[in-house]
Amino acid sequence: MADVAGFPYFEVQFNKAGAVHEEAEVAELLDFLDRKEATDLFVLSHGWNNQMDEARELYRKLLESIAVQLSANPTLASRKFAVLGLFWPSKKFADKSLIAGGAASGESLADSVLKNQLDRLKGGFDNPRADIALEQAKGLLDRLDSSAQARRQYVELIRSLVPKTEGQPDVDDAGGFFTEDGDDLINRLSRPVPRAVSAGGADEGGAMAASDEGGAAGLIDSLGGIKDGALNLLNYATYYQMKERAGLVGRDGLNPLLGRLRSRFPALKLHLVGHSFGGRLVTAAAAGKETDPSQPFADTMTLLQAAFSHNGFAQHFDADRDGFFRSVVTNGKVAGPILITCTENDQAVGKLYPLASMFAGQDAAGIGGPASRFGGIGCNGAQHTPEATVAKLLDVSGRYEGPNALRAGKLHNLDADEFIKDHSDVCGRQVAHAVLAAVALT
């Protein structure tokens, strides 16, 4: 057992299929819980990530903030907290770190960026032939500008990397990714990506700007022309694969593991906290399978700049269609509050959904904003969700009461513009204060 920020700390790794990588890690956690040394367990999930050390650093910073706020919260003084840190195979988008060394001699900067990203993504896709397809795509880069056939071949190779969603489609799936003529698609994606539009309709710009702030899922500045389209396509394929994997690990990996804990330790309180695609992972874990009983699965859930659709919890948002995770609400899967941090400062989540809009051929009006079909929950909060309220992420002296009151079974869109400045700025004391305010209600 390790100690992080004064908390007993355990780790469990999952593989691409959602299976526990090493059962001994689970056994160590169970042995600890058998000794009744914890009343509450924080379950933390990272999002886009290249190395376990990056995830550990995220967990350490967040837990340090929680520890400080916990010491100032007498209502939780009698509770004993432990932490489960999750690890799952994920990959980042292309970001500015890929171009730090410049292009190779005789090679354009655009080709250098694309080649680096194609190499870096090897091993990141589930398709057993994905690495071969990535290598073949590299061989087409010098002909993309001049050959429609090369563009079509490149698109087919990138499409082959990811599976089509089975069963109920997700609300942020864009069919054009799989169906449109490759030359038409890559030319359309070569146009400037539209900027998000705020709730008031004004072009805010910030949420759409290219950035690598925080080191998680940033997008590089424009490569120009066809190479922009090639990179946008590759980044969307990366997003699509990580979206699918986060859901699979949550549903088939974390859900059964936490189900074991629920059965063996019925009094243990579970607090799910997910960042970026980790937000999707913990939400999928809470939702479980359609055949699971309608009963509480977790005590609280906090989604920190989550990377999934703002319609994920929605009711009848599209021709009587519900959001993919609507059952979390209707089946009461979270007994206490669900917190959702959201801000227009999140450039990474903000970039995804205009891309989806471009695949779907959506009109530019409102793209990425709350009224758009394609918008991120980390930017806009939960939309078309009757159970969702709008509140503020408060400073540590603030109290979650009145218009900011937290309530069991409700979703709380916490406007974090003041305190969260980019996609990975989720470890501050204000976040910890909100998490513990929710915990105190359970």
C-beta of residue 384 within 8 angstroms of C-beta of residue 314: yes
Strand partners, 275: 304
Lowest mean pLDDT among 86-90, 120-124, 168-172, 276-280: 168-172
Per-residue model confidence (pLDDT) at position 368 = 77
CA distances (Å), 97 to each of 30, 112, 211, 360, in order?
Answer: 40, 12, 11, 30
Is the pLDDT score of 304 beyond 50?
A: yes
Domains for the chain: give ranges and CATH numbers: 2-90+244-349+375-439 (3.40.50.1820), 96-242 (no CATH)
Question: Helix, strand, or coil here: 264?
Answer: helix
> What is the SS3 string spanning 152-175?
HHHHHHHHCCCCCCCCCCCCCCCC
Is the pLDDT score of 380 beyond 60?
A: yes
Per-residue model confidence (pLDDT) at position 84 = 98
Per-residue model confidence (pLDDT) at position 93 = 66
Q: Which amino acid is at 279?
A: G
Q: What are phi and psi of 258, to 5 degrees?
A: -70, -30
Widest distance between CA atoms in the chain: 69
CA angle 137/143/147 to nearest 5° reads: 110
18-50 pLDDT per residue, tens:
999 999 999 999 999 999 999 999 999 999 876
Dihedral (CA of 207, 54, 138, 109) sign: positive
Per-residue pLDDT, averaged over 288-292, amounts to 82
Is the pLDDT score of 359 beyond 60?
A: yes
Q: Which residue has the tokens 């089509």?
A: 164
Q: What global pTM score does this model have? A: 0.89
412-440 pLDDT per residue, tens:
999 999 999 999 999 999 999 999 999 99
Token digits of residue 178:
């799989």
C-beta of residue 330 within 8 angstroms of C-beta of residue 336: no
C-beta of residue 109 within 8 angstroms of C-beta of residue 94: no
C-beta of residue 207 within 8 angstroms of C-beta of residue 346: yes
C-beta of residue 359 within 8 angstroms of C-beta of residue 325: no
> What is the SS3 string spanning 117-134?
HHHHCCCCCCCCCHHHHH
Strand partners, 298: 334
Per-residue model confidence (pLDDT) at position 203 = 36
Chain-centroid distance of CA 81 in Å reads: 25
Per-residue model confidence (pLDDT) at position 235 = 85
> CA-to-CA distance for 320 and 315, rounded, in angstroms?
8
140-184 pLDDT per residue, tens:
999 999 999 999 999 999 999 987 664 445 666 666 788 889 999
Lowest mean pLDDT among 67-76, 155-164, 354-363: 354-363
Q: Which amino acid is at 79?
A: R
> CA-to-CA distance for 48 and 110, rounded, in angstroms?
23
Q: 147 CB contacts (<8 Å, ≥6 apart)?
A: none
Per-residue model confidence (pLDDT) at position 241 = 87
Is the pLDDT score of 236 beyond 90?
A: no
CA angle 200/425/399 to nearest 5° reads: 75
Strand partners, 274: 45, 303
More confident residue, 385 or 208: 385
